[in-house]
Amino acid sequence: MQANEKTIIGVDHGYAAIKTAHCVFPTGLTAYNHEPYTRQDVLEYEGKWYVCGTGRQPVQREKMANDTYYLLTLAAIAREMERRRLPHRCTVALASGLPLTSYGRQKGSFKKYLLRSPQPVKYRYEGEAYEVTVEGVWLYPQGYSALAMHPELIAGEPSFLLMDIGGWTVDMMRLDNGSASAGTCRSLELGMIRCLDEAREQVLRDTGLSLTDAQIERVLSGQPCSMDEEARGVIERQGRQYTEHLLSAAMEAGFDLKALPVVILGGGAGVAARNLRESDRLCRVISLTDSRINAAGFERLAQQMAALGITQ
């Protein structure tokens, strides 16, 4: 099979969630030595069972430190194959990404991490058998790849800031005439996990209530949720404080947002966009709030390269 005939699946390996072009699920992974009570979200691989998506896992700076992200990748492939109604025995190429600040340093090792042998990889997901041959991995810079989905949004802008708000990090880079300015890349540990933790602690201090991440995320996204009104108000104020913190951090990193347009994307883009004010006097804000946009961007770039006959 030629490279351009492969099924290409984009996977964004976030700290808080795994994303594909059509699916999003939390990074939590619980292992069992015996078959669990449910088949939902259950991965069976090499004699063990894993329930995927049970909350999020603790933050680990090195994603290749253990098998967790590899197992979550197998689950992501199965979910995406099911959404596309692909045969469960097939050949795929993965398209994924890394932060620009660590792209060169981690590219080789992350590719090896995802390209394990032997092939094909045989496993079961939600009771269905899969036999997947992974024949290649394309890797791209996170955030920058998402612009492949909406190049028209920044047409005519000679310079702008790209701010990718993830679960643990906020990756920022300036682009000049469409090219990333490597010296301006910054990765700050100010992702949405920080926002959720601070909101939970503030609610506990002010009201004595212990809320879940799911409840807090619901309020921050502006969706209805049964909750004490005082607690709701605390969360909403924390959302604004978090956004103010992001804007200050960007300024401290050398980006003048009153002079420079900014593209906000990633899992926290919706929260930041909801909490911006006219009084912030930002130059121009473009919000890409679909958390799957990085995965879709990886996939589109890989498809374009495959069409040109460029291998991984």
pLDDT digits (tens, 9 = 90+) for 32-91: 999 888 889 999 999 999 999 888 878 777 889 999 999 999 999 999 999 999 999 999
Mean pLDDT across the stretch 99-107? 86
Residue 4 in this model has a pLDDT that exceeds 60: no
**CATH code, domain with 214:** 3.30.420.40
Task: Quote the mean pLDDT of the chain.
Answer: 92
Please check whether residues 174 and 135 belong to one and the same domain.
Answer: no
Please check whether residues 138 and 11 belong to one and the same domain.
Answer: yes
Residue 2 in this model has a pLDDT that exceeds 50: no
In sequence order, the β-bridge partners of residue 130 are 123
pLDDT value of position 227: 96
Please check whether residues 100 and 50 belong to one and the same domain.
Answer: yes
Residue 192 in this model has a pLDDT that exceeds 80: yes
42-51, 154-163, 164-173, 175-184: segment of lowest average pLDDT: 175-184
pLDDT digits (tens, 9 = 90+) for 207-261: 999 999 999 999 999 999 999 999 999 999 999 999 999 999 999 999 999 999 9
Residue 266 lies inside a defined structural domain of this protein = yes
Q: Which residues contact 60 (CB under 8 A, 6 or more apart)?
A: 66, 68
Do you know the residue count of the chain? Answer: 312
Residue 235 lies inside a defined structural domain of this protein = yes
Please check whether residues 78 and 167 belong to one and the same domain.
Answer: no
| CA distance from start to end of the chain | 14
Residue 1 lies inside a defined structural domain of this protein = no
Domain count, the chain: 2
Residue 2 lies inside a defined structural domain of this protein = no
pLDDT value of position 5: 52
Domain of residue 191: give its range: 156-287
Mean pLDDT across the stretch 139-164? 89
| pLDDT band, very low/low/confident/very high, at 1 (cuts 50, 70, 90) | very low
